[in-house]
Amino acid sequence: MDNDRTEQRIIQKAKEGDRTAFAELVDLYKDRVYHISYRMLGNRQEAEDVAQETFIRVYNNLESYNPQYKFSTWIYRIATNLSIDFIRKRKQSLSLDADISGAEGLDWHDRLADSGLGPEEEVLADEFQNEVQGAIMGLNPKYRSVMVLRYIQDLSLQEISETVQLPVSTIKTRIHRGREALRKKLRFL
């Protein structure tokens, strides 16, 4: 409860033009917004672009935010909608020169041995993670968005409903169908 009041004070200061307050909001939400975008897009660079655009939209439209609702719901809706728009644009502009997914963002640090898992376990864990991410990426965007919000961001059904502006019953249906689609995709891997 106290965190909500603190957040509302920060938002009010940001609405009044306090750039430091807006920077605090960015700091509070940057990782979560990035993760929503990444889980929906499956590409680090695109997720960074969407996260940046999300905060630009938040800054430009902060006056339209209604404090009756959770700020997180509002910002997640913006990130989700921008991610879906990015997916639509991507489908329209496929190129033979496009990067192959699964290899972007790797550097030598990713290849160093971890003290926790052995090389074989790490490869298996990475393969499983890639299989799950691939299965998520293979979902229809309307199912993908609710699955990411529910299972990756751990939002409640009501919060997802407010984020994507659909009834809770529709959210339940999409989660059920998304799980079934994932189950079918992962069964054959």
> Residue 29's pLDDT is what?
94
Nearest CA to 75 among 58, 53, 52, 51?
A: 58
Provide the token pair at 179: 């799980």
Beta strands in 49-158 (DSSP E): none
- Of 69-73, 96-100, 181-185, least confident by mean pLDDT is 96-100
Mean pLDDT of 70-95: 83
The pLDDT of residue 39 is above 70: yes
The pLDDT of residue 23 is above 90: yes
| In the chain, where the domains are located | 1-90, 106-189
| Main-chain phi, psi angles of 123, to 5 degrees | -65, -45
Q: Options 3.40.50.300, 3.30.10.20, 1.10.357.20, 1.10.1740.10; which CATH number does 1-90 get?
A: 1.10.1740.10
Same fold, 1-90 and 106-189: no
- The CATH number that domain 106-189 falls under is 1.10.10.10
Provide the token pair at 29: 């939400």
Provide the token pair at 84: 């879906």
